[in-house]
Amino acid sequence: MMRKTYKAWLNERSEEGIADLPDGFLKECSDHMAQLRLGYNLLEKGSLRHRLATKELELLSYMLRDLLAIRQRKVLNMKPGQREEGFQMLAEDRDVLQKFLEASEARDRLLERTIHGKIEAKKTEHEKRAFAVVRILKDTPAFVSVDGVEIGPYRAGDVVSMPAPNARILVRQSYAKAIDFARGEGEDAD
């Protein structure tokens, strides 16, 4: 496996385009390294076999990391039309490429919104959090809300607004009855 990986790594480094990797190459590497690690723990530390297994794992890891990084750079430097044609990408390469393209498109959209003055102020965590209004059915001791703030104690009959996650818990435990949950929370008023 070491020779095969070394050959693939050298080939990727020397070719201008993306080099073809043998079918099942990454799976084979993964299986080999898993097998090495399995036997690794059985070897006596400091023995020649232990040192050789350690070095083999280090070298294989380095070559695989570098090989995939080189492939990634090559794919990202290609023009969009070239990415899909002219070479056989591994399924893993396609997954990585798709994620990078999505990130690149998101960056482009952000740039366009910035240039055209369409960036909205970012809401604070408190503004994002949905609140609910509940009627307290039983006396409830004080507790720490999802915001990390102590709220309560409440008396039966109190009508209070609190973070929706806390209100859901109180409703489920029959300590409160929902009056109004904020939009999008999936809770209906009873």
pLDDT digits (tens, 9 = 90+) for 65-117: 888 888 877 777 776 666 554 345 566 666 666 676 677 777 777 777 777 77
pLDDT tens sequence across 24-66:
788 888 888 888 877 777 777 888 888 888 888 888 888 888 8
Residue 156: which pLDDT band, with cuts at 50, 70 and 90? very high
What is the rounded CA–CA span in Å between residue 138 and residue 157?
8
Mean predicted lDDT score pLDDT of the chain: 77
Q: How many CB atoms lie within 10 A of CB 12?
A: 21
Between 3.30.465.10, 1.20.58.2050, 2.30.110.10, 3.40.30.10, what CATH number should domain 2-115 receive? 1.20.58.2050
Q: How far apart, in whole angstroms, are the C-alpha atoms of residue 19 and residue 89?
A: 9
Is the CA virtual torsion 165, 171, 176, 179 positive or negative? positive
- The CATH number of the structural domain formed by 125-181 is 3.40.5.50
Instruction: Give 181's DSSP letter.
Output: E
What distance in Å separates the CA atoms of residue 1 and residue 60, rounded to the nearest whole number? 9
Residue-level length of the chain: 190
Domain boundaries, the chain: 2-115, 125-181
* Confidence tier at 189 by pLDDT (50, 70, 90): very low
Joined tokens for residue 145: 């809300």
149 touches 155 (CB < 8 A): no
